[in-house]
């Protein structure tokens, strides 16, 4: 008996009474059988289409290629206005299918085809599911896959011709070679390129031929020629995903058998395939998953993911999400939405710092992603491009129970899933090894994640921020219940903020949210409330990452001193000092980072309990002997002698009062401690300064603040100011000291935080113009220029500044408000920086007269530029008088 049997063929029957009756499918004869269509030839191209369906035992006949062609096309409209004769009966078909069959019919030779709409009984749900499991094998064993784009239109013939020529050229064509770019772009908009089933069909193909009307082109040639004619940005993302599979089909092994016995093309994991292709279109939602199963490398059948159209969409999507992200996630799905809300626990790995495409390379379908981890190590990986492109600011995290890390994006108080499986490309061996190390952090902080994974659209369709807006407008409707209380919403917002902060995000809305949460917790619970302190810690880090220095330092040290006053607060302070130091180190602030880490190490040594004054001095003396001045050494000797004498007195029964007499007062006085603190500040010993400030009896005086600004710098002054919070008395001398020291961030703090207490006096402005750095003066003029009066003294001091063009900056900012007196001109002439006088003459030369002393000063100074300017002006005046 022949292995190939006609089903209901009886084409030689003389009884033609059944012609015109609807075709009735007969059951397939075996579980491994498929149906093939024999398209009969005809000499008249307008003659009705005649076909025969027959059973084909594909599994019994071994590996391919088999002598049939598989068709890849779109059904188009659901209407079926045409019919074909199948085994003597009629079958209604769509207009698009009728067009391609007419094109494929030969005048002399029959063609054997596999076409899903005809070879599968679409009304039989069970058969559809069974046959879909064989789809990869059907296309893989076909001798050829024919892609039908539709009839010729909008210059498609010329488009394919240009692509074929470009593929054959060794050197890309120059711009003077005409081709219809608009026609190519129009052709790429055809529905076939967006259909999700075509992905598996072309990935499995042994050989691909693309047809559009009467024009044909080899599939590989199409992939070669297209990038030569269109730039990377001209080719839409969904086209690149198709050409990626089409180009790679001739290189990859055709298929492998998974543990369930099904054939798989073994291209990528199901999660990666969903990330890449979820934006492609399907008539039925189920096909968003079923169309990818045959390409999956991780055997979804083990989790029950097999083609089954009887299961509801919400059940199917939830099943797929759990397969990809692990069984520990809690998933909520809906029948009418291609979106899932996911609750899970996990930890943060790092933040995406930059992304670039591989444009201009052979593999232009990939992204190079740079990630900074929580321990400030930078990694770079090449990953497959996805339907939603990765962006800077996205977060890399790992859900508990998931096989791979993922990329998510902040969106209000939840996160959108961008990439469910963050996997470096296989060819990048070195980076893959480092990536494996990244997945195993020491002791990560576990967070509660609320995620929305949407498959309904792609970022490409909604650019310029519209995607995030669209997602926000719909996700909360399904994420938040009507009965949800305010505390639940606060907890969700809290979790989102903690995740973003842990990742190292510096987004402005993170800072705004933290500020509001801090206000709320402070108002409701007071300063010592744990969440309020956590807000301060995260806010200081966010300020620092955003370059807002004074806000970062002020927030951090206010938080540190609040914690130092709490039971067991020292342990938390150690952690904060370490994390804040690491943040500054990553920003190149090495001195700040070193001081903070040393202080953290010091606190570890002395223990977790607050130090007494004696313990602080003893610690400073033992670890930093250079700070132990004579007063301290003398006092410590007294304490040691006192302790020995007290012990001896107790042994002999003498009174403590008798023992105390020769040693004087037992404890160090506040005055002594303040003297020691001043010396620590003068010697630039930040760690000793911090330990001494732990003593509550010490009062921070104006002289200490000024000394800290002048003598040492930012770390010490912020420690002092943070201890006093907003209670420190801000004087003019303190502001002047900040302006003199080039401490722009401290000056910003004084003026921004204590504006009602501070006047920008003439002396403050003079300090800024006499500075060696321009940043302080620039800040004053840009932020507070409307309040600054430039007096003659200020202008003279600016004219004398030889470090930067202070006078020029003043003239540009204040213009005609500045009066240029003879003394200002003389100061500029005496300045060794010759450009000062020349700039002044250029800016205001028409309205000032150089005095003889000023001209003589310029001459002695060798200021030829200014002298030449004056000479030219003199000649101009003489010519003007003659005329």
Q: Mind listing the pLDDT tens digit for each residue in 775-798?
A: 888 888 888 888 888 899 998 898
Instruction: Residue 266: give the domain boundaries.
Output: 156-301
Phi-psi bin for 401: left (phi > 0), alpha (psi -120 to 50), beta? left
Residues 288 and 407 in one domain: no
Q: Could you give the 3-state DSSP secondary structure of residue 414?
A: strand
How far apart are alpha carbons 739 and 563 in whole angstroms? 31
The pLDDT value recorded for residue 56 is 92
Higher-confidence residue of 625 and 243: namely: 243
What would the pLDDT profile of 647-680 be if each residue is shown by its tens digit? 555 555 544 344 333 333 345 566 677 877 887 8
Counted domains in the chain:
3
Each residue's pLDDT tens digit, 582-595: 888 877 788 888 88
**718: exposed, middle or buried (C-beta count within 10 Å: 0-12, 13-18, 19+)?**
buried
263 & 400 share domain: no
Same domain, 297 and 321: no
Do both 331 and 380 map to the same domain?
Answer: yes
Rounded-to-10 torsion of CA 325, 502, 474, 453:
-20
Whether 368 and 411 share a structural domain: yes
Residues 280 and 324 in one domain: no
In this structure, the answer to whether residues 229 and 365 fall within a common structural domain is: no
- pLDDT band at residue 854 using 50, 70 and 90 as cut-offs: confident
Strand 339-357 and strand 395-399: the pairing is antiparallel
**213: region left, alpha or beta (phi > 0 left; psi from -120 to 50 alpha):** left
- Check pLDDT > 70 for residue 709: yes
Indicate the pairing of strand 406-411 with strand 395-399: antiparallel
For residues 193 and 15, the model is more confident at: 193
Task: Check residue 84 and give its pLDDT.
Answer: 94
Give the pLDDT confidence score for residue 664 in this predicted structure: 36
Average pLDDT in the chain = 79
Using pLDDT thresholds of 50, 70 and 90, give the confidence band for residue 55: very high
Residue 831 has pLDDT above 90, yes or no: no
Average pLDDT, integer, range 265-271: 86
From residue 586, give the alpha-carbon distance in Å to each of 64, 262, 557, 578, 593: 57, 50, 19, 12, 9
- In the structure, what pLDDT confidence band is assigned to residue 600 with cuts at 50, 70 and 90? confident
Of the residues 428, 452, 477, the one at which a domain ends: 477
Question: Last residue of some domain: 272, 301, 330?
Answer: 301
Model confidence band, residue 629 (pLDDT cutoffs 50, 70, 90): very low
Predicted confidence (pLDDT) per residue in 722-775, tens digit? 888 767 788 888 888 888 876 678 888 888 888 777 888 899 999 888 888 888
Report the DSSP beta bridge partners of residue 815: none
Which parts of 632-751 are beta strand (E)?
Answer: none
Structure-block tokens of residue 74: 């779109």
Alpha carbon distances (Å) from 880 to 305, 850, 877: 95, 19, 5
Nearest in space to 537 (alpha carbons), one of 561, 560, 567:
560
- Long-range CB pairs of 159-164 (<8 Å, 24+ gap) are 159/183, 159/184, 159/186, 159/187, 160/187, 160/210, 160/212, 160/215, 160/216, 160/217, 160/222, 161/215, 162/225, 162/229, 163/217, 163/221, 163/222, 163/225, 163/226, 163/229, 164/217, 164/221, 164/222, 164/225
Give the C-alpha separation, 510 to 524, whole Å: 21
Cα→Cα distances 453→339, 428, 464, 744, 829, Å: 6, 28, 20, 45, 70
Please list the residues that pair with 809 across neighbouring strands: none
Closest CA to 341 of 476, 523, 459, 507: 476
Closest C-alpha to 738, from 703, 700, 764: 764
Query: Are 326 and 399 within 8 A, CB to CB?
Result: yes
Mean pLDDT of the region 131-144? 88
Q: Do the Cβ atoms of 395 and 500 come closer than 8 Å?
A: yes
Residue 85 has pLDDT above 90, yes or no: yes
Half-sphere exposure of 613 toward its Cβ, with a 13 Å CA cutoff? 19
pLDDT at 179: 55
Answer yes or no: is 648 within a domain. Answer: no
* pLDDT for 357: 75
- The mean per-residue pLDDT over the stretch 4-12 comes to 38
| Residue 13: inside a domain | no
Q: Does residue 381 belong to any structural domain of this protein?
A: yes
* Whether residue 160 is found in the same domain as residue 288: yes
pLDDT band at 618 (very low <50, low <70, confident <90, very high): low
pLDDT of residue 218: 92
Tell me which of 320 and 175 has the higher pLDDT: 320
Provide the β-strand partners of residue 785. none
Work out the angle between the directed axes of helices 714-724 and 744-753 (0-180°, nearest 10). 20
Specify the pLDDT at position 253.
61
User: Which of 289, 330, 284, 331 has its CA nearest to residue 307?
Assistant: 289
Identify the band that residue 428 occupies on the pLDDT scale cut at 50, 70 and 90: very low
pLDDT > 70: percent of the chain: 80
**Same domain for 275 and 196:** yes
Give the best-scoring range by mean pLDDT among 76-80, 173-177, 195-199.
195-199
According to the model, what pLDDT value does residue 596 have? Answer: 87
Q: Are residues 293 and 338 in the same domain?
A: no
HEC string of 96-146 equals HHHHHHHHHCCCCCCEEEECHHHHCCCCCHHHHHHHHHCHHHHHHHEEEEE
Lowest pLDDT segment from 230-239, 308-317, 444-453, 543-552: 230-239
* 342 and 443 co-located in one domain: yes
Residue 370 lies in a domain: yes
Last residue of a domain, one of 446, 477, 508: 477
Mean pLDDT (whole number) for 547-566? 87
> What's the confidence (pLDDT) of residue 11?
37
Residue 92 has pLDDT above 90, yes or no: yes
With a cut of 80, say whether residue 474 has pLDDT above it.
Answer: no
The answer to which of 351-360, 401-410, 448-457, 532-541 has the lowest mean pLDDT is 351-360
Pair (397, 251) in one structural domain: no
Give residue 73's pLDDT.
94
Sign of CA dihedral 427, 433, 436, 441: negative
Asked if residue 226 belongs to a domain, the reply is yes
Answer yes or no: is pLDDT of 333 > 60: yes
Domain presence at residue 245: yes
Query: Residue 651: its pLDDT value, please?
Result: 53
Cα distance between residue 742 and residue 710, in whole Å:
9
Phi-psi map region of 390: left, alpha, beta (phi>0 left; psi -120 to 50 alpha): beta
What six digits make up the tokens of 590? 């090495």
């Amino acid at each position: 008996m022949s292995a190939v049997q006609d089903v209901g063929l009886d084409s030689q029957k003389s009884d033609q009474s059944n012609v015109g009756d609807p075709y009735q499918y007969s059951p397939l004869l075996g579980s491994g059988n498929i149906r093939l269509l024999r398209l009969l030839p005809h000499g008249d191209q307008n003659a009705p289409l005649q076909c025969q369906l027959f059973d084909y035992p594909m599994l019994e006949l071994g590996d391919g290629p088999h002598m049939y062609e598989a068709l890849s096309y779109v059904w188009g409209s659901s209407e079926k206005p045409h019919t074909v004769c199948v085994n003597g009966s009629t079958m209604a078909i769509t207009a698009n299918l009728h067009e391609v069959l007419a094109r494929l019919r030969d005048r002399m030779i029959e063609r054997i085809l596999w076409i899903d709409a005809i070879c599968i009984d679409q009304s039989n749900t069970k058969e559809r599911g069974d046959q879909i499991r064989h789809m990869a094998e059907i296309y893989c064993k076909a001798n050829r896959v024919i892609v039908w784009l539709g009839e010729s239109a909008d210059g498609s013939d010329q488009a394919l011709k240009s692509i074929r020529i470009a593929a054959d050229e060794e050197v890309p064509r120059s711009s003077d070679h005409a081709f219809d770019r608009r026609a190519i772009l129009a052709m790429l908009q055809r529905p076939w390129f967006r259909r999700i089933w075509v992905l598996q069909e072309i990935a499995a193909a042994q050989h691909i031929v693309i047809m559009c009307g009467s024009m044909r082109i080899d599939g590989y040639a199409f992939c070669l020629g297209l990038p030569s004619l269109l730039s990377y940005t001209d080719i839409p993302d969904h086209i690149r995903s198709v050409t990626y599979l089409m180009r790679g089909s001739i290189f990859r092994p055709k298929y492998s058998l998974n543990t369930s016995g099904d054939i798989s093309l073994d291209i990528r994991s199901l999660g990666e395939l969903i990330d890449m292709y979820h934006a492609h279109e399907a008539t039925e939602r189920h096909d968003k998953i079923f169309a990818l199963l045959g390409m999956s490398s991780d055997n979804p059948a083990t989790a029950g993911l097999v083609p089954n159209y009887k299961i509801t969409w919400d059940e199917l999507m939830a099943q797929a999400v759990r397969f990809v992200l692990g069984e520990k996630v809690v998933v909520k799905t809906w029948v009418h939405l291609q979106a899932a809300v996911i609750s899970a626990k996990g930890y943060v790995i790092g933040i995406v710092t930059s992304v670039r495409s591989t444009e201009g390379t052979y593999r232009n379908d990939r992204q190079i992603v740079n990630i900074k981890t929580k321990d400030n190590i930078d990694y770079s990986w090449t990953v497959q491009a996805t339907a939603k492109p990765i962006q800077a600011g996205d977060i890399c995290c790992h859900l508990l129970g998931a096989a791979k890390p993922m990329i998510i994006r902040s969106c209000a108080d939840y996160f959108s899933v961008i990439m469910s499986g963050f996997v470096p490309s296989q060819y990048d061996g070195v980076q893959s090894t480092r990536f494996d190390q990244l997945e195993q952090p020491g002791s990560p902080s576990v967070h509660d994640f609320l995620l929305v994974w949407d498959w309904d659209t792609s970022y490409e369709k909604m650019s310029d921020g519209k995607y995030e807006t669209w997602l926000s407008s719909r996700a909360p409707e399904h994420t938040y219940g009507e009965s949800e209380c305010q505390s639940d919403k606060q907890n969700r917002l809290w979790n989102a903020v903690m995740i973003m902060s842990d990742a190292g995000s510096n987004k402005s809305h993170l800072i705004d949210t933290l500020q509001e949460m801090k206000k709320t917790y402070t108002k409701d619970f007071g300063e010592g409330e744990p969440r309020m302190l956590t807000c301060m810690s995260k806010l200081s880090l966010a300020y620092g990452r955003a370059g807002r220095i004074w806000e970062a330092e002020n927030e951090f040290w206010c938080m540190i001193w609040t914690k130092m006053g709490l039971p067991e607060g020292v342990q938390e302070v150690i952690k904060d000092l370490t994390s804040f130091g690491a943040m500054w180190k990553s920003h190149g602030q090495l001195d700040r980072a070193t001081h903070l880490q040393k202080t953290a190490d010091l606190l570890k040594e002395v223990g977790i309990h607050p130090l007494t004054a004696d313990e602080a001095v003893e610690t400073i003396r033992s670890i930093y002997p250079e700070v132990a001045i004579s007063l301290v050494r003398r006092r410590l000797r007294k304490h040691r002698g006192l302790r020995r004498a007290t012990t001896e007195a107790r042994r002999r029964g003498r009174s403590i009062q008798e023992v105390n007499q020769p040693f004087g007062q037992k404890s160090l006085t506040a005055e002594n401690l303040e003297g020691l603190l001043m010396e620590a500040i003068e010697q630039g010993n930040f760690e000793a300064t911090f330990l001494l400030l732990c003593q509550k009896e010490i009062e921070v005086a104006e002289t200490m603040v000024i000394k800290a600004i002048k003598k040492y710098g930012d770390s010490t002054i912020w420690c002092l100011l943070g201890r006093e919070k907003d209670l420190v008395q801000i004087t003019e001398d303190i502001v002047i000291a900040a302006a003199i020291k080039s401490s722009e961030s401290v000056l910003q703090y004084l003026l921004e935080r204590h504006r009602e207490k501070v006047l920008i006096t003439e002396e403050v402005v003079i300090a800024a113009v006499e500075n060696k750095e321009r940043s302080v003066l620039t800040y004053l003029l840009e932020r507070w220029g409307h309040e600054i009066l430039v007096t003659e003294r200020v202008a003279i001091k600016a004219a004398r500044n030889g470090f930067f063009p202070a006078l020029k900056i003043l003239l540009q900012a204040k213009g005609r408000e500045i009066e240029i007196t003879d003394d200002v001109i003389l100061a500029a002439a005496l300045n060794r920086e010759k450009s000062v006088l020349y700039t002044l003459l250029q800016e205001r030369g028409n309205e000032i007269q150089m005095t003889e002393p000023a001209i003589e000063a310029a001459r002695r100074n060798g200021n030829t530029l200014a002298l030449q300017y004056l000479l030219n002006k003199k000649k101009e005046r003489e010519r003007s008088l003659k005329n």
